Structure 1
């Protein structure tokens, strides 16, 4: 990514931070606008206009859930060996196993790869919501909820229905007006930008307590997110034999920071939310370094 692209990418985050810091803008209405309107419209339009082959879809889904499960298992194993308590283990597992596809990954991929990757990144966004609503809730709750029970929360959002509707349109070979789909995609593209604004507002609400109270696990987790995350992602790409153009999108996703959903889950279940918040901030601001390096070294 060029320097100008990185500046443009972080400009909405800065705007969101200023709105949260000086205008006390609430993120909830903006998040509802994203989740219940803009993102479903974008997801449906993107999956219909830029369809994926069945092979590409399988590669995206297999890679994403393998990444989440392996990162969770490794983090739980290492943090357990280091003698961390259960809430800290859960916080570290949440932070390491998640990637911010929605408010960060989509605009980054569009900047770096182009609109040809929109269908793939939107499918990953759907996968991330399913994972957060099932595996994420299970981790945050410390095993108090079964994954199947937690998965029910996914169906309260319209995102999954947008995916199912788009797949149905493709399967039935229905011909929708191209202009309507183009307009829907243009409207929906406001979603990723608004997501970056929301990220900035969330960052403005975080204190620095996380870094002071949990300096050791914080440093380890940010370092792992920046180094081991891409290493794991590249390893899975090699294992599954994934080639371009799918590979380029997955390379970027390997380097993405901790997802905002993890912070919300950590707050809800009191799973070291300040630690999760500090990891989110650290990995977000340092991730352009690893994204740029990974694309230079491994990108096509």
Structure 2
């Protein structure tokens, strides 16, 4: 008789997902291979997810719900699973981000996480040499679902021009990322501005920061250092962050001129595919 790994469904959201998947599959009288055939994946993948060796995706979860008639159970569970893959120190921020009515952020080095493509996010997250890169990538993509709500948060993003030029992931990845930014040029709830190099010294040379406003709670400012994140609702800090952000907005290009710069960088820096790609190794 084949050994069946026992699962403790209380161990983690991922363990509960795997346990419930096995329970529902067996209740429907299906083997792993049979369920795999129905949802167009391998039986091996079903087994790996049931035993917590693989992280389920949202697409996988939606197909399982359709196949097993589980009324969205796995589509709901996968959100908890993916949230749990975030670093512990980052989860409070993700919770606040999901509740925010208004987000304003200045990003000095990278494209803002809610606007990252999957390929760009993977290249960024890989620099930390994580044990669970794919889980982190899936969790970052899951965060972006707040932009698909009927009423998403109003978001204002200022990107340093350096973020457009730094070739994260290579030419193809950067071209896709800049194309993604251009999709927001006429977005109702999202505004993207670029702080150009020609602005010189500016109000946030110390680095990136994000302010979040809520319908019923105090404003929060979020910053990160090398290994963790920090949130504060201190009124003096909020006031100073608002002052600095106003100066950044005044120094940044307009939304329209920012889109034009993004398009120009995309074509001039990442548009020529005929030349071999050069990647520096740190």
TM-score (norm 2): 0.29
Give the strand-richer structure, 1 or 2: 2
TM-score (norm 1): 0.28
Larger RCO (CA within 8 A; separation ≥ 6): 1
